Amino acid sequence: MTDLEVALEDMLAVERFDPPAEFTRRRSVEADLAAANADSEQFWADAARDLLTWEKPFTQVLDDSNPPFYTWFADGELNLSANCLDRHVAAGRGDRVAFHWRGEEGERRDVSYAQLLADTERLANGLRGLGVVAGDVVGIFLPMIPEVAAAMLACARIGAVHNVVFGGFAPSAVRERMEVSEAKVLITVDGARRKGRRAEVKAAVDAELGDLPALAHIVVVRGPGEHPGEVPMTPGRDIWYDELLAAADPHCPAVSLPAEHPLFILYSSGSTAKPKGILHTTAGYLLGATYTHRMVFDLDADTDVYWCSADVGWITGHSYIVYGPLSNGATSVMYEGAPDYPDRDIWWQLIEEYKVTVFYTAPTAIRTCIKWGPEYPGRHDLSSLRVLGTVGEPINPKAWLWYHLVIGGGRCPIVDTWWQTETGSVLISPLAGVTTTKPGSATRALPGISPALLGEDGAPVTEGTGILVITRPWPSMLRTLYKDDKRFVETYFSRFGPTTYVVGDAARLDADGYFWIIGRIDDVINVSGHRLSTAEVESAIVAHEAVAEAAVVAEPDEQTGQAIVAFVTLAGDRVGDASVEAELRDHVARRIGKLARPRRIIWADDLPKTRSGKIMRRLLRDVAAGRELGDVTTLRDPAVMAVIADRVRGARDDEE
């Protein structure tokens, strides 16, 4: 065993990590907790006055007269981009770096608050010139470049509703999201690069979205790097981003908007094939992002250099790359590339170079780094780090300890932040330097948040496992599913009534009142912290002409948390072989994105069905996880499962 392995082994026995003394001296949040416990509405109202700059002060706080349709600060007015930009520039901090951007080929660009404001104002005017008015939807499909922040902020400045699609999604997924949200403008890029390869994004977007009736304009950013070849531009519809900015009036005063003005839609996977358009509004969302970014990470905007390694296409990027950090006036690192390009030490090189103090990433990334070995971080001076965060999935204690020792040098508190696209901001998490942590536990609720565990029957669980719910509204909660109030109520507020938000996760409460998140209890799979719907992947597979039927479940995976297994019945007398398998995986990548490609495809002559024809996914989950099969007597043909179980064992043996 290496010294590190010995140290990890020893530490596995440690159950609690007390906050380092230098933190506890720095700040105490006990006052917030006490205030929130005494009166959570008053607490949030005070925080909203304290942290946000209002054009028109609010007099109402929470309106809960029509649950689950809650409003916060409804008679107040503000502008989110003014909170993220203008107020810092006005306070003399215009020269402060908002983003230290780093390109995949090593390019450096520092974007100051003043520069970001200037770009945002011009783009906002440019969008207006294209006919965008408050309430219109603007799609954003961009890689990790500073323009993505300007695009989001420009929308917020004029009250347009942005709809960002993760750059790794396929153009057909972009089409679906633009179509259902009736986006008027799409902001995208000519081409994007990944590990030295180039994807012709604009051409692919044209092929998929060219005929959308509502989509009047496509704005095209010239992405970093070489630009070989012609980019197709349709006159009258398409316009270059830089030309739009150059021609625009540089001055665009921020529009004063009602607190509940819609800010963005972000599509996320649910239990059907149709993604859910999660809708967030202005003030409550910004308050959640601002407050939590400051408190959870113990942020000091004057001295910290913060880096969240997520992509802006996810909620983590919205709240903790763009809105939280900018509202707090922080300096962040933004990195375009992959963690192993040009080499596996690029992240640690960036931390050393920019002297990053607060680093926020996902457990799956940590597990990948563990696999690569400690020599990559070992090559760099990581002593600037003082707080580490994780998000997206449960972190196993071993990965937690490795993060703590190898990356944090044993001195940095780890904040395991639990939240969701729907919650807008972190709800359950340690506060860096305040909370005693336990590896693997997201610990306790933040001030002003009321989580609880319920049994199947709705009775409260005070210790043990149960269904995670939030019993009181909070400012950054989703307001509805875009144009689908009915699905909003059904998905989150039907099981235990209209005032109890059902999260979709199971969790355990220990004797200290600490939460341990177990995972999803619906048909959602968490692959590397990315949420995918089994139904969505199934419908993509079934859309292939060779396929008769498919069922998708998750199997546990050391690296990615969960991995996708697809059980597929082919049409007619097609035979499942390696070439059909490759074709299917490729087909899913084209329809949804690479991250939805099944890890394993198991050919089945038939799927396990009840007498009424319902596929019993429970049995498939058992078989994929290598568990004993549950009750098969309700199956129409119990023999089907024996064949499938055999094939799964065969596939596993082949791998070993």
Binding status of residue 418 toward ligand WT7 by CB under 6 A: yes
Residue (167 or 608) nearer to ligand WT7, CB? 167
**For ligand WT7, the closer CB: 204 or 527:** 527
- Tell me if 430 contacts ligand WT7 by CB under 6 A: no
User: Least Å distance between CB 564 and ligand WT7?
Assistant: 15
- Closer to ligand WT7 by Cβ: residue 189 or 467: 467
Query: Which one of residues 61, 158, 185, 442 is an interface residue with ligand WT7 (CB under 6 A)?
Result: 442
Segment holding 452, helix H or strand E: strand 451-454
Under a CB-based contact definition with an 8 Å cutoff, are residues 415 and 432 in contact? yes
- Kindly state whether residue 393 participates in binding ligand WT7, applying the rule CB under 6 A: yes
- Extract the tokens encoding 520: 């999803």
Selected from 391, 553, 563, 641, the binder of ligand WT7 by CB under 6 A is 391
Residue 361 touches ligand WT7, criterion: CB under 6 A: no
501-540 residues in contact with ligand WT7 (CB under 6 A) are 503-505, 517, 519-520, 526, 529, 531
Q: Which amino acid is at 298?
A: D
Report the 3 state secondary structure along 457-473.
CCCEECCEEEEEEECCC
Q: Based on the shown chain and the rule CB under 6 A, indicate whether residue 316 belongs to the binding site for ligand WT7.
A: yes
Kindly state the smallest distance separating residue 289's Cβ from ligand WT7, in Å. 12
Question: Does residue 292 bind ligand WT7 (CB under 6 A)?
Answer: no
Q: Which among 83, 126, 481 is positioned nearest to 286, based on CA atoms?
A: 83
Q: Is 392 in the site for ligand WT7 (CB under 6 A)?
A: yes
The correct pick among 147, 416, 523, 555 for binding ligand WT7 (CB under 6 A) is 416
Closer of 260 and 393 to ligand WT7 (Cβ): 393
| Nearer to ligand WT7 among residue 276 and residue 617 (C-beta) | 276
Q: Which is nearer to ligand WT7, 468 or 547 (CB)?
A: 468
Query: Kind and range of the H or E element at 290?
Result: helix 282-296
**Which residue(s) pair with 333 in the sheet?**
100, 307
Q: How far is CA 121 from the centre of its chain?
A: 27
Q: What are phi and psi of 46, to 5 degrees?
A: -65, -45
* Least Cβ distance, residue 416 to ligand WT7 (angstroms): 5
Task: Determine if 268 is a binding residue for ligand WT7 (CB under 6 A).
Answer: yes
Residue 622 binds to ligand WT7 (criterion: CB under 6 A): no
Query: How many residues at the interface with ligand WT7, by CB under 6 A?
Result: 24
Nearer to ligand WT7, 238 or 393 (CB): 393
Query: What DSSP assignment string belongs to 221-277?
Result: E--SS---SPPP--TTTEEEHHHHHHHS-S--PPPPEETTSEEEEEEE--SSSSPEE
Whole-angstrom CA distances from 466 to 374, 450, 588 are 37, 15, 34
Nearer to ligand WT7, 73 or 419 (CB): 419
Stretch that binds ligand WT7, among 309-317, 328-336, 346-354, 539-547 (CB under 6 A): 309-317
Q: Residue 561 and residue 368: Cα distance in Å, rounded?
A: 11
Place of tokens 């720095």: 26
Residue 97 · residue 308 · CB < 8 Å:
no
Residue 375's CB: how many other CB atoms inside 10 A?
A: 9
Are 394 and 418 a contacting pair, CB within 8 Å?
Answer: no
Q: In the block, which residue shows the tokens 């996914």? A: 617
15 three-state secondary structure = coil
> Which residue stretch of 172-180, 419-427, 590-598, 617-625 sits at the interface with ligand WT7 (rule: CB under 6 A)?
419-427
Specify the length of the chain in residues: 656
CB 589, min distance to ligand WT7, A: 19
Is 296 a binder of ligand WT7 (CB under 6 A)? no
Residues that bind ligand WT7 (CB under 6 A): 268, 314-316, 391-394, 416-421, 442, 503-505, 517, 519-520, 526, 529, 531
